[in-house]
Amino acid sequence: MGHTIGRVIAVLLLVLGFAAPAAAGPLQEALAAYNRGDYAMAERLWRPLAEQGDAEAQNNLGGMYYNGEGVPQDDAEAVKWYRKAADQGFRGAQYNLGIVYEHGRGVPQDDAEAVKWYKLAAEKGLADAQSNLAIMYEHGRGVPQNDAEAVKWYRLAAEQGRSRRSK
């Protein structure tokens, strides 16, 4: 009886030991790989998820192409993945599309299009997008200059601790 309980406990510990990493999931495993600089592993884990339509993986894969991390730097490929995620409402990708349109990387430079994407992300509470949108209103880039709108978005960003432009 004692050996049986011991075996059951050993099996449970073994199963739980394997279950914990599996519970983390490939998104989290890829993020951990990315954070330790193992971009090849991050790309291998994110790509199938991105191809299956996972918006977070699509956004992250876009970032890898934008920065040339583990893949050749390719602005057009970055935009492709950002757009897939942004079209699903992923606020980080919407913000990233704002960046690429503002700076003309992988797309023609277009302040109005940048504002469109910043606003979508800003309305979902993304502080970096709120800050960048405020700047666009302050300087009349892509929208009519509007101090009241600029202050509104600066205030929302500041309430989240964001105090300067993000790139």
Q: Which residue has the higher pLDDT, 10 or 140?
A: 140
pLDDT attached to residue 16: 38
Write the CA distances from 95 to 46, 102, 128, integer angstroms: 20, 11, 8
Average pLDDT over residues 17-45: 82
Average pLDDT over residues 125-150: 98
pLDDT attached to residue 125: 97
pLDDT attached to residue 165: 56
The torsion of the CA quartet 89, 160, 148, 146, rounded to 10 degrees, works out to -50
Write the CA distances from 138 to 111, 132, 147, integer angstroms: 13, 10, 6
Please state the separation of Cα 84 from the chain's center in Å.
Answer: 12
What does the block give as tokens for 43?
């790309």
What is the DSSP-derived secondary structure letter of residue 73?
-
Q: What stretch of H or E contains 99?
A: helix 91-103
Q: What stretch of H or E contains 160?
A: none
Q: How confident is the model at residue 117 (pLDDT cuts 50, 70, 90)?
A: very high
Residue 8 pLDDT greater than 60, yes or no: no
As a whole number of angstroms, the distance between CA 147 and CA 134 comes to: 9
By the 10 Å C-beta count (0-12 exposed, 13-18 middle, 19+ buried), 79 is classed as: buried
Q: Name the average pLDDT for the chain.
A: 88
Residue 153 pLDDT greater than 90, yes or no: yes
Residue 7 pLDDT greater than 90, yes or no: no
pLDDT attached to residue 91: 98
Residue 99 pLDDT greater than 90, yes or no: yes
Q: What stretch of H or E contains 40?
A: helix 39-51
Q: For residue 75, what are the contacts with CB-CB under 8 A and spacing of at least 6?
A: 65, 66, 100, 105, 106, 107
Q: How confident is the model at residue 22 (pLDDT cuts 50, 70, 90)?
A: very low
pLDDT tens sequence across 36-84 = 999 999 999 999 999 999 999 999 999 999 999 999 999 999 999 999 9
pLDDT attached to residue 5: 42
Helices (H) and strands (E) in the chain, counts: 8, 0
